[in-house]
């Protein structure tokens, strides 16, 4: 029988950590060529179509940025929470909360001077997602209820709240579909590049990356938040108000996801509807891990997933590979990255007996 054991290895040089995500992506694409082959596709043609579709022209590239924007935000949301060991699996729900708030402001705040509409949407959307995330944070810190489970369950609660709103008070007059009226023109995110959908939200995502980097590295709160994640006891010992740190972490995390919801309403759909997100919140988890919880890593991982998801449409058309290959690639990428990170600290030893 062959046994496997995992043993610590000597520390690897720092540049290895930079190579690892690239290697993980490469291995992922290698593994996912198996389902492509099974689907009867030509691997080179399929991946060629994928990258062509995502990066091949200016328009495609800009579309990839458009798609990356919500992914950066949900990825940051999850990464920031996970760093403090607040297991926020609820970015999807927080995104909904942000979208609902954005639609509310965008549709009904007609009394606002038009230059204030977008700032209001952003603030309300951030708060909507942030406050929604404080529920599981409060349950975790005060009542010791497992945050994984509550964040997951609350995704369904907010989904149905949204459903109730869209079939109720927010439903567009005369419509039998669950969709709201359109937001006012002043609430549309401005497009920054002509004849494209390159919108304000993309800039907001990039600012968010910098902001999180700043919080993580330059503020007392960033230090405390990481400390809480690494060792709750030591953080308490050091006089850090750990419950407060978790609560603030939740607000920032949920707020970021909320901003993703704002972007989807204000820049893409221009109204609220049930499928405002095709699972951005869940993909955010993969992105956070693939980016090693680091904001810059998250931005790169989000861009990679955006490439996959935009390119997969072309790949589907050209090579006949079902679009759901995206989910497979996401899952494989996550697992590959996990294993690669593990291998930086440990090595696998095979034993024969």
Partner 1 sequence: MEGRILEKQAVIEMRGVTKRFVDVIANDKVDLKLFPNEVVGLLGENGAGKTTLMNVLFGYYNLDGGEMLIGGEKVSFSSPKDAINHGIAMIHQHFTLVQTQTVLENVMIGMEGSFFLNYKKAKEKLLGIEKEFGFHLDPDAVVWTLSIGEQQKLEILKALYRDAKILIMDEPTAVLAPTETIELFETLHNLVKSGHSIIFISHHLQEVMDICDRVVVLRNGKRVAETEVSETTIPELASLMVGRELLERLDKGKSKTGEVILEAKDLRVKNNRGITAVDGLSFVLKEGEVLGVAGVSGNGQTELSEMLFGEVKPEEGEIYISGKKVPGGSLSSVIKESMARIPEDRIKTGLFMDLSVKENMILESHVKEPISKNGLINIKEIRSFADNCIKSFSVKTDGMDAPVKSLSGGNLQKVILARELVGDPKLVVACQPTRGLDVGAMEYVHQAMLNQKESGAGVLLISDDLDEIFLLSDRIIVMYEGKIMGEVSAEEADRDKIGLWMSGVTS
Partner 2 sequence: MMSEIFTVTFITGLIAATLRMSTPIILATLGEIITERSGVLNLGIEGTMVFGAALGFLTTLATGNLWLGVFVAALGGIVLSLLMAVLAVYMGLSQHVSGLGITIFASGLAMFIYRLVVGSPIVPPVITPFTPVAIPLLFRIPILGGSFFTQYSLTYITWALIPLVSIFLFKTRAGLRVRTIGQNPFAADTVGVNVNLTRTLCLAAGGAFFGVAGAFLTLAHQNMFLIDVIGGRGWIAIAMTIFGNWNPVMGAVGALMFGFLDAFQLRMQTLGVDLPFHIFLMIPYLITILALISVSRKATVPAGLLRPYRREEKG
* Binding region for partner 2 (CB under 8 A): 4-8, 35, 38-39, 87, 89, 139, 143-146, 148-150, 152-157, 160-164, 167-168, 282-283, 285-286, 289, 322-332, 334-335, 338-339, 342, 348-349
Closer Cβ to partner 2, 266 or 288, answer by number: 288
The nearest distance, CB 183 to partner 2, in angstroms, is 22
Alpha carbon distance 223, 31 (integer Å): 38
Query: Any residues with CB less than 8 A from the CB of 212 and at least 6 apart, and which?
Result: 76, 79, 80, 252, 256, 295
Q: What are the residues binding partner 1 (CB under 8 A)?
A: 3, 7-11, 218-224, 226-227, 230-231, 233-239, 351, 353
CA angle 264, 291, 128 (to 5 degrees): 35
Query: In the numeric block, which tokens belong to residue 311?
Result: 């390119």
Q: Which is nearer to partner 2, 178 or 261 (CB)?
A: 178
Closest CB 135 distance from partner 2, rounded Å: 9
Of 191 and 230, CB closest to partner 1: 230
Partner touching 220 among partner 1, partner 2, none, CB below 5 to 8 Å by kind: partner 1
| DSSP code for 205 | H
Q: Nearest approach, Cβ of 45 to partner 2 (angstroms)?
A: 17
Which of partner 2, partner 1, none is residue 143 near (CB under 5 to 8 Å by kind)?
A: partner 2
Task: Choose among partner 1, partner 2, none what residue 156 binds, the Cβ cut-off being 5 to 8 Å by kind.
Answer: partner 2
Residue 340 C-beta: closest distance to partner 2, Å: 11
Sign of CA dihedral 111, 114, 120, 125: positive
Task: Name the token pair of 101.
Answer: 């708030």
Which of 65, 84, 28, 91 has its CA nearest to residue 282?
91
Q: What are phi and psi of 346, to 5 degrees?
A: -130, 160
Of residues 174 and 239, the one with the C-beta less far from partner 2: 174
DSSP 112: S
Nearer to partner 1 by Cβ, of 10 and 195: the residue is: 10
218 contact, one of partner 2, partner 1, none, CB 5-8 Å limit per kind: partner 1
CA distance 219 to 280: 28
**Residue 111 backbone dihedrals phi, psi, to 5 degrees:** -75, -10
Minimum CB distance to partner 1, residue 81 (Å): 17
- Of 334, 315, 333, 336, nearest to 324 by C-alpha is 315
In the list partner 1, partner 2, none, the entry touching 30 (Cβ below 5 to 8 angstroms by class) is none
Phi, psi of 189 (to 5 degrees): -60, 135
Q: Could you tell me which of 85, 117, 116 has the C-alpha nearest to residue 103?
A: 117
Q: Which of the choices partner 2, partner 1, none does residue 176 contact, using the CB cut-off of 5 to 8 A by kind? A: none
Residue 58 or 218 having the CB closest to partner 1:
218
Q: Which partner from the list partner 2, partner 1, none does 138 bind, CB cut-off 5 to 8 Å by kind?
A: none
Smallest gap from residue 280 Cβ to partner 2 (A)? 13
Which C-beta is closer to partner 2: that of 197 or that of 271? 271
22 binds, among partner 2, partner 1, none (CB under 5 to 8 A by kind): none
Residue 215 belongs to what H/E stretch?
helix 200-218
What is the number of residues in the chain?
A: 353
Report the nearest approach of partner 1 to the CB of residue 291 (Å): 18
Pick one of partner 2, partner 1, none as the site partner of residue 139 (Cβ within 5 to 8 A by kind).
Answer: partner 2
In the numeric block, which tokens belong to residue 118? 């977008």
| Both tokens assigned to 290 | 């693939």
What are the tokens at 82? Answer: 């996970």
CB of 111 to partner 1, least distance (A): 36
Nearest to 235 by CA among 72, 78, 86: 86
Q: Which residue has the tokens 């891990």?
A: 289
Smallest gap, in angstroms, from Cβ of residue 237 to partner 1? 5
């Amino acid at each position: 029988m062959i046994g496997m054991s995992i043993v610590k290895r000597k520390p690897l040089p720092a540049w290895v950590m930079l190579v690892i995500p690239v290697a993980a992506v490469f291995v992922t694409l290698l593994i996912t060529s198996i389902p492509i082959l099974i689907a009867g596709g030509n691997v080179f043609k399929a991946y060629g179509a994928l990258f062509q579709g995502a990066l091949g022209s200016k328009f495609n590239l800009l579309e990839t940025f458009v798609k990356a924007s919500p992914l950066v935000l949900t990825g940051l949301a999850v990464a920031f929470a996970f760093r403090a060991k607040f297991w926020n699996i609820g970015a999807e729900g927080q995104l909904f909360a942000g979208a609902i708030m954005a639609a509310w402001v965008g549709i009904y705040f007609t009394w606002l001077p038009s230059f204030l509409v977008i700032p209001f949407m952003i603030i309300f959307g951030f708060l909507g997602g942030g406050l929604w995330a404080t529920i599981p944070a409060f349950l975790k810190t005060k009542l010791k209820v497992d945050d994984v489970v509550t964040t997951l369950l609350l995704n369904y609660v907010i989904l149905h709240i949204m459903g109730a709103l869209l079939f109720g008070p927010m439903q567009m007059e005369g419509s039998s579909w669950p969709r709201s009226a359109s937001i006012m023109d002043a609430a549309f995110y401005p497009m920054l590049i002509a004849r494209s959908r390159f919108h304000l939200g993309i800039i907001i995502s990039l600012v968010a990356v910098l902001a999180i980097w700043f919080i993580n590295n330059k503020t007392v709160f960033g230090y405390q938040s990481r400390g809480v994640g690494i060792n709750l006891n030591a953080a308490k010992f050091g006089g850090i108000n750990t419950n407060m740190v978790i609560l603030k972490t939740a607000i920032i995390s949920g707020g970021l996801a909320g901003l993703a919801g704002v972007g989807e309403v204000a820049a893409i759909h221009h109204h609220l509807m049930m499928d405002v997100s095709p699972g951005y919140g869940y993909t955010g988890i993969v992105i956070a891990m693939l980016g090693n919880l680091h904001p810059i890593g998250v931005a790169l991982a989000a861009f990679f997933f955006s490439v996959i998801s935009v390119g997969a449409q072309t790949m589907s058309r050209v090579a006949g590979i079902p679009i759901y290959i995206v989910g497979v690639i996401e899952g494989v990428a996550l697992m590959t990255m996990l294993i690669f990170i593990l291998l930086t600290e440990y090595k696998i030893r095979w034993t024969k007996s």
